Structure 1
């Protein structure tokens, strides 16, 4: 997903925890037949209910020739004229499908990835782009979807969003053009839109002769965001979507409750994805996007257009969400709000939550991912009763390569539990518990934009001036957080502008995926594994990966940010009156984390979270009224679970020493500079 470098009052600074892209050439000379999927290896997972016997379950098999498959390009009429040239924009759709099913007159479903990246930036861990022969016919389709699924009787369609690669129009960064680019293709596949065999010609291309019209959209980052947007239109024929590290509301990508994150305007993104022709003709579109999405964070109709959560009630498709809980590009609040809205409307859904940053499951759990995705598409696109819809809904990575499952997510025993801060010893942190603070209890801190969440956590046991920290006693038993937290603060600023950050931290030693290092939790290896059939120009073989880990003294569990000036209206920033107390609630990102016995749970409230939040125009000192400040944390087992975990004997634990890799050290030179949309592990 797009990731601008953080700007602070005009200065361009490095984004410490996320990395710039490194692109490796595809090993195009490998020619391999369709191969069986290897059995996954590694740590055990919790047992799931038995699926139907493989002897009785239908499964699509690789029986069709990938080398002889039909490869064609179609241009679909979107009904829009984004570039203002007086004719309807057409988006390019590159399709690969089995020749055998076409010859037999058998109709097949379509797996579709609509992306702005096919020419500018590439897809996947190896930065693959589309390639064409001398006549303009498609040769390489990025990623493994075509190699694996076409031999199994699916078509794969790779759609260039408007303004990108070989499509007309202008990309509008998440707006109507993005969504309509892909929706029009779903309509065409179902006989409701016009397609043509060339970009400008009049020869019609028809899909209803070869497809059932059943479509499954998949994609990571911007691609998955488009899938969310198309599903939110309720378009008929879209049976399932698989959004990976995807946005559900573009406002929340660039702002957090009024506070600007990074360079908080989306218009610059189109400069990266629009083709040269589009860049020359789309200046007016970029200007409209910039004007409609102000840096102030005020809510506008442009943000409403780019908010898919509000239309969750229109979703007809099933949804398989995948997200990294430490994704600091498309942050975890994006999946949480989407998931909750889908649940409220009874949408059929499944979720995988990893410990990684912005990483595709193909690169952190490959064998299990391909197997699960295969069964998912077989069920929702081919109608096979393979039991995947009756299995546990959630897979959660508890430690590197160690996964557990939950039949429901969050678990049904989860309850929002109010935890309250109170003063502690003068030289140490405050106390986090159930008892309210004595009225009149306060704590004061001064915003320091040079420090952030990792610095605050490392200094939790010291009363440092840049944050307010509160901790539980060491836990006598584990405590599980599952879902979205809220932190309500009553703060008195000394200036007319102020930003707030709230962070939940697990204090105690652990080994985690190193989401702050290059790869965001994975290391790419030289060896390759093959997932489907190959041709000379389109290999099914991809570099293997392994978990990149770090030993840490604390783990940030969840984060949230806000502009205190939005205390009265989340859609409008207002100047603050110095010396006046304001109460507002910060939304923290969704998470699922187990705080082990012996560890402590901390709540930290600070100002500017370095490298994640732009500072306000003035640097305030803030005083918290502790009697009117609290956190509502979704605990499995609710308040009784917290009471049990914070009572009884407990082991002593060391203070949270800052350990390597995630200690807040400056990044290597490779991570400095702008990060392209979906760069590196983010593609």
Structure 2
């Protein structure tokens, strides 16, 4: 396992380096074309005097006689301060003062990486202070936006600074632990990607380095410490403050986000009481927004601009009258509107998981969630999700249940849920559940998946398992069936199955097992 993790981290560093080169290019290209507005590179003193490298873009003709709404954009994890220049110039052309800054610990900004900790939150307020004092920014009309790390910091800053009236959080998180440690399972490839990028482009604090080490080592004695560390860095912890502030929040994410899966944004959205909007599209972490960073037309950035136009400039652009939950199908690419997140999966169908099935652990059956970034990008661009031959999956290592063929086409919208009774032979273990769309030849296209880990169980004693699979929007053709597959090894995750362990799935008469799928006919 140690060599496996090292290889993943090396791969992650290479992937991140390529991303950074692309990020630099997409930020620099639009700069040479900018003639209509003013771009300045400045140093801003953040919390404790830490120097933050920043860009300031002001509207053309700004002469100090009028004030403009302010937008503050913290950079993504590992990307340089020029990341948002194309969008910053567009926003400045629309009448905003835009300040983008490199978060502490990365590139030429000072300090160490704090992973959206208290210093990062304080930095955002310091940047706002500086902009009010040194630009024609209107202190009564302030918004924040960002992709990934910038999204998370924006949400946290809005919870702690009442001056932030609107946020567009793109590919961000509201629950850090629920994202990379869901159901007590370490999301190995996602963590390796973040760790690798931090090593290449920044300076990790001693605390952050220790958190990563404990995470990789599956140190259960530090589990609560890691959870508490993550809660402090999660906007969901401060939902009451956001509601009290009345911040207008736009949340956008991708169905296949392997760093911050969509479920955590859906759950967070339901708890918000102020103006809110939720958008999900095909793709992986940050891929839905990337063309906008090149300055190309992009639905996510267009909606973010409309969001700020209404809530910071008072424009009557209709965004407040649209269905607030907006989904784009992975299968058709068509947009759908819903009144709330709960309505997305309102129609459900239970598929019985009958009988008793025992599987052996420690061997990958061939059912996998794919590869971080690559698989979901293929699904986004070519509609090719991870595929497995369901009839050929070895039943020694994979439990398989299938529904009847459907005479009509069906839509999966929302969150599938697994309920089963599990009897282990060891006190710890990991399982991964997969939902497949199975065609006539038995080839299964991955609809969704999720891992589940348990510790401290009594061998031989059954217990109930309830697991939410990652939310999605997928269309199942007529004549196809759904299959639920469960195995114990997936390269995306760290598994906790002792050598020789077995898992038995049963369906007691008084507590039958099933997978509940948010399914409706087209």
State the match for 1:630 in structure 2: 513
Tell me the SS of whatever aligns to 2:391: coil
Contact 1:474 1:598 survives alignment (8 Å): yes
Residue of 155, 179, 182 corresponding to 1:253: 179
Residue of 232, 239, 247 corresponding to 2:165: 239
Structure 1 CA distance for aligned equivalents of residues 401 and 505 of structure 2: 12
C-alpha displacement of 1:76: 3.4
Contact 2:13 2:200 survives alignment (8 Å): no
Tell me the SS of whatever aligns to 1:174: coil
State the match for 1:665 in structure 2: none
How many residues are aligned here? 485
Matches within 5 A, 1:341-356: 341-356=268-283
C-alpha displacement of 1:91: 3.4
State the match for 1:165 in structure 2: 107
Structure 2 CA distance for aligned equivalents of residues 151 and 32 of structure 1: 16
Residue of 461, 482, 488 corresponding to 2:391: 461
Residue of 84, 100, 103 corresponding to 2:61: 100
CA-to-partner distance for each residue in 1:307-354, whole Å, 9 max, x for gaps? Answer: 32232232232222222212223323xxx2233233233232223322
C-alpha displacement of 1:145: 1.3
State the match for 2:376 in structure 1: none
* Counterpart check, 1:228 vs 2:169: no
Change over 3 Å in CA distance of 1:310–1:26 after alignment to 2:
closer
Structure 1 CA distance for aligned equivalents of residues 176 and 75 of structure 2: 16
* Counterpart check, 1:110 vs 2:70: yes
State the match for 1:558 in structure 2: 448
* Counterpart check, 1:212 vs 2:139: yes
Structure 1 CA distance for aligned equivalents of residues 300 and 219 of structure 2: 40
* Counterpart check, 1:321 vs 2:251: yes
Change over 3 Å in CA distance of 1:507–1:178 after alignment to 2:
farther
Structure 2 CA distance for aligned equivalents of residues 171 and 340 of structure 1: 28
C-alpha displacement of 1:356: 1.5
Structure 1 CA distance for aligned equivalents of residues 177 and 217 of structure 2: 10
With normalisation by structure 2, the TM-score equals: 0.80
Contact 1:258 1:296 survives alignment (8 Å): no
Structure 2 CA distance for aligned equivalents of residues 452 and 187 of structure 1: 54
With normalisation by structure 1, the TM-score equals: 0.63
CA-to-partner distance for each residue in 1:13-45, whole Å, 9 max, x for gaps? Answer: 5899999253347386788878xxxxxxxxxxx
Residue of 28, 33, 45 corresponding to 1:76: 45
Structure 1 CA distance for aligned equivalents of residues 346 and 104 of structure 2: 44
CA-to-partner distance for each residue in 1:549-577, whole Å, 9 max, x for gaps? Answer: xxx94332222112122xxxxxxxx2x33
State the match for 1:299 in structure 2: 224
Matches within 5 A, 1:630-669: 630-631=513-514, 633=516, 635=518
Structure 2 CA distance for aligned equivalents of residues 353 and 586 of structure 1: 21
State the match for 1:185 in structure 2: 127
Alpha carbon RMSD of aligned pairs, Å? 3.7
Tell me the SS of whatever aligns to 1:559: strand
State the match for 1:151 in structure 2: 93
Change over 3 Å in CA distance of 1:487–1:422 after alignment to 2:
closer
C-alpha displacement of 1:154: 0.9
Structure 1 CA distance for aligned equivalents of residues 413 and 260 of structure 2: 19
* Counterpart check, 1:598 vs 2:521: no
Unaligned runs of 5+ in 1: 1-5, 35-64, 81-87, 123-128, 131-139, 191-205, 424-440, 511-551, 566-573, 646-683
C-alpha displacement of 1:221: 1.9
Structure 1 CA distance for aligned equivalents of residues 283 and 346 of structure 2: 26
Structure 1 CA distance for aligned equivalents of residues 11 and 448 of structure 2: 18
Q: Which has the larger radius of gyration?
A: 1
State the match for 2:432 in structure 1: 501
* Counterpart check, 1:271 vs 2:199: yes
State the match for 2:36 in structure 1: 66
Change over 3 Å in CA distance of 1:340–1:457 after alignment to 2:
same
Structure 2 CA distance for aligned equivalents of residues 18 and 90 of structure 1: 26
Residue of 379, 394, 410 corresponding to 2:310: 379
C-alpha displacement of 1:442: 0.9
C-alpha displacement of 1:382: 0.9
State the match for 2:407 in structure 1: 476
CA-to-partner distance for each residue in 1:641-674, whole Å, 9 max, x for gaps? Answer: 7xxx9xxxxxxxxxxxxxxxxxxxxxxxxxxxxx
CA-to-partner distance for each residue in 1:68-122, whole Å, 9 max, x for gaps? Answer: x1525242342x5xxxxxxx43534331213523x152111122221265xxx43
Unaligned runs of 5+ in 2: 370-385
CA-to-partner distance for each residue in 1:474-523, whole Å, 9 max, x for gaps? Answer: 1122333332233222211122321011122222389xxxxxxxxxxxxx
C-alpha displacement of 1:384: 0.8
Contact 2:351 2:516 survives alignment (8 Å): no
Structure 2 CA distance for aligned equivalents of residues 625 and 605 of structure 1: 13
Change over 3 Å in CA distance of 1:242–1:617 after alignment to 2:
farther
Contact 1:113 1:218 survives alignment (8 Å): yes
Residue of 309, 312, 334 corresponding to 2:236: 309
Tell me the SS of whatever aligns to 2:284: coil
C-alpha displacement of 1:391: 1.4
Change over 3 Å in CA distance of 1:207–1:451 after alignment to 2:
farther
Change over 3 Å in CA distance of 1:633–1:482 after alignment to 2:
farther
Change over 3 Å in CA distance of 1:89–1:369 after alignment to 2:
closer
Structure 2 CA distance for aligned equivalents of residues 226 and 31 of structure 1: 25
Tell me the SS of whatever aligns to 2:343: coil
Tell me the SS of whatever aligns to 1:149: helix
C-alpha displacement of 1:283: 3.8
Structure 1 CA distance for aligned equivalents of residues 332 and 110 of structure 2: 43
Matches within 5 A, 1:664-679: none
Tell me the SS of whatever aligns to 2:390: coil
Structure 1 CA distance for aligned equivalents of residues 29 and 469 of structure 2: 47
Tell me the SS of whatever aligns to 2:44: strand
